[in-house]
Amino acid sequence: MKNQTILPYEHVLVLGLAKSGTAAAKVLLEHGIAVRVNDGKTAGNEQSINELQALGAEVITGSHPVSVLEDVTTIVKNPGIPYEHPLIQEAKNRQVPIITEIELAGQLAKGPIIGITGSNGKTTTTSLTGEMLIQSNLSVKIAGNIGTAAVEVANNADSEERLLLELSSFQLLGVQSFRPKISALLNIYEAHLDYHKTVDNYVQAKSNIFKNQTAEDMLVYNADDSTILRMVKDARARLVPFSVRKWFSDGACLHEQAIYFQGERIVDVDDIALVGEHNLANILAAISIAKSCGATDEAIKYVLKTFTGVRHRLQFVANIQGRSFYNDSKATNVLATQKALRAFSQPVILLAGGLDRGNGFQALKKDLTHVKKMVLFGETAKKIQSIANELKIESTIVDTMDEAVKLAYNVSSKGDVVLLSPACASWDQYRTFEERGDMFIQAVHKLA
């Protein structure tokens, strides 16, 4: 058992199992803190339940009785559970503090924390930054929204290791004292309004990444994003801008088809392997962070010349009879799909659709000029089809990913791109966007 004074909690309710809840409960137990776990489901959680009970946790599943709040001094909430949940509302009434496991990670981390957030590009930027640090022989652990729960990694990392975290608005909403040494704001786009309700709430959640930073810390920000420019006016951290439009001698920028950092030419755009104009902004952010951590120019150039993308984010899958298949399942909103479409000049067969969150798809219209066919699925299929009909783009609605891939191949020609970029979350048909992307990859390999 570790020193229980590290974490200032007595009796914690972990609300929601899943990956982050299970990790948080295990770490809390390891530090000698009394833990009660509550999850609305039982099926699918049996292994986690058995493990936590064996470690001494009280586990209550199948419903959310108010009695789980008895004697609780803090709640660690799964990021996906909305604050309108009746149990959370009752906890607020009782003035029980509510955090997410990111707050625990911040309290446990011994080394510097790097936090990256934005509406799009978080995974790519985090992966690029991590690779640049690793190639520079700098110690780093990557966690958060990108994979392993942050609390688990923070608990096991030493003081020499940087904790590089991809952070969602859901996670940041539970921040109280969390303070990264370096934070990064990539972009802000209307997203997750079914959860946050208003754009202002969403922006406030994102701004929590820097709310506890001081002049000793650094905030890397997108100087081309008007919302972010307004947000950082309140920041106390040292500001480091990046821009694909303007020259900045104190930040990173695109100038004459080359990438610069603090006036130093780093690499020519033609040497960068990662496709898509939108990725230039992600690259500028990654370079700003990596250089500030001591990464070498040689390591940065090597990564940019060899890094072709992360799984499910404009991931090249295969070339079959001259058709190039790309998996962009992580495109869970319209802006991400717009950026994916702008990455290609070839004719595109677009596979799209998914969970209906009530938003429209009119913004897609201007980026569909080189889409020759749309294959649609999920709850939003008919909504997106109405856009296709307006633009006189042929479209077909299918039920499965296998059908979508086969149809896309049959209507494509040599030189075309077959792009899965759904513009929607996956939860109407799949558990995660990763599962959706994996189904696409499997279907493409079957075709091959």
Domain 11-99 grouped into CATH 3.40.50.10490: no
Nearest to 253 by CA among 241, 270, 237: 241
pLDDT tens figures, 57-111: 999 999 999 999 999 999 999 988 888 899 999 999 999 999 989 999 999 999 9
CA separation (Å) from 283 to 81, 140, 207, 209, 228? 32, 18, 21, 20, 18
Strand ranges (E), 104-217? 113-117, 140-144, 162-166, 182-185
Q: Write down the pLDDT at residue 3.
A: 42
Nearest to 116 by CA among 153, 167, 174: 167
**Phi/psi zone of residue 263: left (φ > 0), alpha (ψ -120 to 50 degrees), beta?**
left
CATH topology of domain 315-447: Protein-Tyrosine Phosphatase; Chain A (3.90.190)
| Higher per-residue pLDDT: 5 or 29 | 29
Q: Write down the pLDDT at residue 235.
A: 96
Nearest to 395 by CA among 438, 425, 361, 429: 361
User: In this model, does residue 193 exceed pLDDT 90?
Assistant: no
Burial 152-175 (b: 16+ CB within 10 A, else e): bbbbebeeebbbbbbbbbbbbbbb
Q: In what order do the strands lie in the sheet with 323-327?
A: 315-320, 323-327, 417-420, 348-352, 371-376, 394-397
Domains 11-99 and 102-306 share a fold: no
Classify 418 as helix, strand or coil: strand
Domain 102-306 grouped into CATH 3.40.50.300: no
User: In this model, does residue 179 exceed pLDDT 50?
Assistant: yes
Angstrom distance (rounded) from CA 163 to CA 141: 5
The residues near 399 (Cβ < 8 Å, ≥ 6 apart) are: 377
367 contacts 338 by C-beta, under 8 angstroms: yes
Domain residues of the chain, as ranges?
Answer: 11-99, 102-306, 315-447
